[in-house]
Amino acid sequence: MVGWSMSHQNLNQFDFMFAGGASGCITRATCQPFDVLKIRFQLQVEPISHHADSAKYRSIFQATKIIFKEEGVKAFWKGHIPAQWLSISYGLAQFWSYEVLIRNASKLEAFKNFTPLLIFSCGYIAGSIATLVSFPFDVVRTRFVAQSQQKMIYHNMFSAVRDICRKESPVALFRGLWPTVLQVGPHAGAQFMCYRFFDDFYKKINKKQNSSLSSTLFAGSLAGLCAKTFIYPFDLVRKRLQIQGFGHARDSFGIHFTCKGLIDCFSRIYYLEGARGFFKGLAPSLIKAVFTTALHFSTYEMICNVLMVFKGKS
């Protein structure tokens, strides 16, 4: 299972890195449309409601229809290249660091029993490390999704990085890092902790010793649902910070949102949009979280199992 176990004792750090990167790649390619919808909702200042005449996006179905009509099916994979780099680097760093932390903790007498606090802590650290490694790709991905098809500013990942560094400074590639760390650390910790809990619960109910595809899908989907709900406001604030200085490319999307930092961003969202503003895009985000977390953990588990088979034959 994810985390140290006897079944994976022959795998080394490079195996965990490969499995984490590959699972991130597969998950991103499959679930990217949910991410596009979520980001579009998060960046909209106007209310998301069928009764909001001034809003561009009013529901998941309506937003999907509008994006398809105005920008074509390719729009649902906007920013896919930097998003893939984001997912691969994040998955590689997260699972590698988590496995290393758990494996080393297992050697200490005090941590013979994997308590929820230990799993949460290792997941928290792993998520924070992965965020630092992958964050510039997240900023570039957000810019691609945010820009209008009629007013393209960036045409490929390398030109986007070059333009951001030249026009806004390299620091802009880490804009929104603080709320991201505040979000991703607890989110990753909660994911791993909930995954372990639901995986053990599933195996206990079905009287099985080892994790299976059904148990990892079950545990992953519930872990994603629980973790995403708790940290969602930080995810929204992160996206708002990442598009600061980019309003000229969003003329067709409604009101421009500007802020001066983390605290100002929270206060302006509350003042302009109310408490519900912190949960814009939650519906597609939860749908995405259920599918992506289940797919992420299950593909990682299956890839580790395949690697074990190959190592057994060699």
Write out the chain in H/E/C secondary structure. CCCCCHHHCCCCHHHHHHHHHHHHHHHHHHHHHHHHHHHHHHHCCCCCCCCCCCCCCCCHHHHHHHHHHHHCHHHHHCCHHHHHHHHHHHHHHHHHHHHHHHHHHHCCHHHCCCCHHHHHHHHHHHHHHHHHHHHHHHHHHHHHHHCCCCCCCCCCHHHHHHHHHHHHCHHHHHCCHHHHHHHHHHHHHHHHHHHHHHHHHHHHHCCCCCCCHHHHHHHHHHHHHHHHHHHHHHHHHHHHHHCCCCHHHCHHHCCCCCCCCHHHHHHHHHHHHCHHHHHCCHHHHHHHHHHHHHHHHHHHHHHHHHHHHHHHHC
Measured CA distances, 35 to 64, 117, 121, 152, 292 (Å): 12, 30, 27, 19, 10
Residue 165 makes CB contacts below 8 A (sequence gap 6+) with 172, 173
CA distance 309 to 216: 19
* Structural contact between residues 102 and 123, judged by C-beta atoms closer than 8 angstroms: no
Q: At what angle do helices 13-43 and 282-313 cross, to 10 degrees?
A: 170
- Could you tell me the pLDDT band of residue 9, with boundaries at 50, 70 and 90? low
Pick the closest to residue 98 from 128, 72, 61 (CA basis). 128
Give the residue with greater pLDDT, 114 vs 256.
256
- Could you tell me the pLDDT band of residue 127, with boundaries at 50, 70 and 90? very high
Average pLDDT over residues 265-284: 87
pLDDT recorded at residue 76: 87
CA distance 102 to 68: 44
CA distance 292 to 103: 25
Average pLDDT over residues 203-218: 82
Average pLDDT over residues 114-143: 87
CA distance 183 to 128: 9
Percent of the chain with pLDDT over 70: 90
Structural domains of the chain, ranges and CATH numbers in brackets: 6-313 (1.50.40.10)
CA distance 211 to 171: 43
Percent of the chain with pLDDT over 90: 7
CA distance 154 to 135: 18
CA distance 51 to 46: 11
**Phi and psi at residue 149, in whole multiples of 5°?**
-65, -30
pLDDT recorded at residue 313: 58
User: Which pair of structure tokens corresponds to residue 145?
Assistant: 């999704």
CA distance 79 to 154: 10
CA distance 220 to 218: 6
pTM, 2 dp? 0.71
Q: Count Cβ atoms below 10 Å from residue 145 Cβ, excluding itself.
A: 26
Residue 52 makes CB contacts below 8 A (sequence gap 6+) with 46, 58
Q: What is the mean pLDDT of the chain?
A: 82
Which of the listed ranges 113-117, 259-263, 266-270 does the model predict with the highest average pLDDT?
266-270
User: Which pair of structure tokens corresponds to residue 12?
Assistant: 């080394």
